[in-house]
Structure 1
């Protein structure tokens, strides 16, 4: 399980208070990663670290849980190249 290493408070358009954005420990340097946060409406916000001002994509908690479960089980892994 990946644990967040960094919390970045910021305001997202449409939210009155700063949000705590989390970046994975697996993110190298924080330049090509995504950040996640819980939004006030119970949604999950996801944004690109390279363009934080663009605003997040939003997902329901159920959608996010399904995505994370699939990711943890390798559903989105690229095929491995055959050994030579």
Structure 2
């Protein structure tokens, strides 16, 4: 089992990368992949060979909770 860390080349992580169905037609989106030990890798779909952000499941849960509550809406264009 490999231990991937932040900054690992995303395309070298042997996992199934998934993205939101709401992603733009030109492919600009964030993709995620499940890793061993309850971790998640995130990458920019327009730079699949770029660095991956590796986080714990609990960190993603906290982020999703905040996003559902609108805590990051101010970061979106037009808000």
**TM-score, normalized by length of structure 2?**
0.72
> Larger relative contact order (C-alpha < 8 A, sep ≥ 6)?
2
Q: CA RMSD in A?
A: 2.2
More strand by share: 1
Q: How big is each residue's C-alpha offset from its partner over 1:1-50, in whole Å with a ceiling of 9 and x where there is no partner?
A: xxxxxxxxxx743x4xx311111011012521100111123211110001
Runs of 4+ in 1 over 6 A off after TM superposition: none
Give the structure with the larger helix fraction: 2
Name the TM-score, length of structure 1 as normaliser: 0.68
Q: 5+ unaligned residues in a row in structure 1: which ranges?
A: 1-10
Work out the number of aligned pairs and report it: 68
Name stretches of at least 5 consecutive residues in structure 2 with no aligned partner.
Answer: 1-9
